[in-house]
Amino acid sequence: MATVESTEPMQAPVAETMERNIREQLARTLQAGGFDPARDITAITVNRWPHGYAYEYNSLWDKFWLEGGETPCEIARKPFGRLAIANADAGAYAYTDCAIDQAYRAVQEITKKD
């Protein structure tokens, strides 16, 4: 097995490459509709965790939290035919119990009798 030695941290080049690739892919995909990555992308966050990351809502930054109504995860997890989303992201809570609760919810939604 060969080893590679470097004085540069591995994270910076990888994150820069990922950001560049994301910008290029979005530009190719959306440019016909007028998308300009330099103008339309404020920031790209690259998480290098070896597991999932569910965003948890916070009333300090998430205005919809105080205004009421459906949260983004509630809108995104609505069933489409017999397809349903079931994971921690579907509940905006990054823990196993949330993923289990969301799996139960999804099964109930797609098996309910009308």
pLDDT tens readout for residues 71-99: 888 998 999 888 898 988 899 988 889 99
Identify the residue whose tokens are 């993923």.
99
pLDDT higher than threshold 90 for residue 46: no
Compute the CA torsion angle 17, 24, 47, 89 (nearest 10 deg): -160
Q: pTM to 2 decimals?
A: 0.52
Question: What's the pLDDT at 7?
Answer: 56
Using alpha carbons only, what angle is made at residue 65 by residues 50 and 107, rounded to the nearest 5 degrees? 60
pLDDT at residue 6 is higher than 80:
no
Q: Residue 64 and residue 54: Cα distance in Å, rounded?
A: 18
Q: What is the model's pLDDT at position 32?
A: 94
What does the pLDDT average to over 21-48?
89
Rounded distance, CA 98 to CA 86, Å?
9
In which band, very low, low, confident or very high, does the pLDDT at 31 lie, cut at 50, 70 and 90?
very high
**H helix intervals, the chain:** 11-30, 37-40, 63-67, 72-76, 96-111
State residue 37's pLDDT score.
Answer: 93
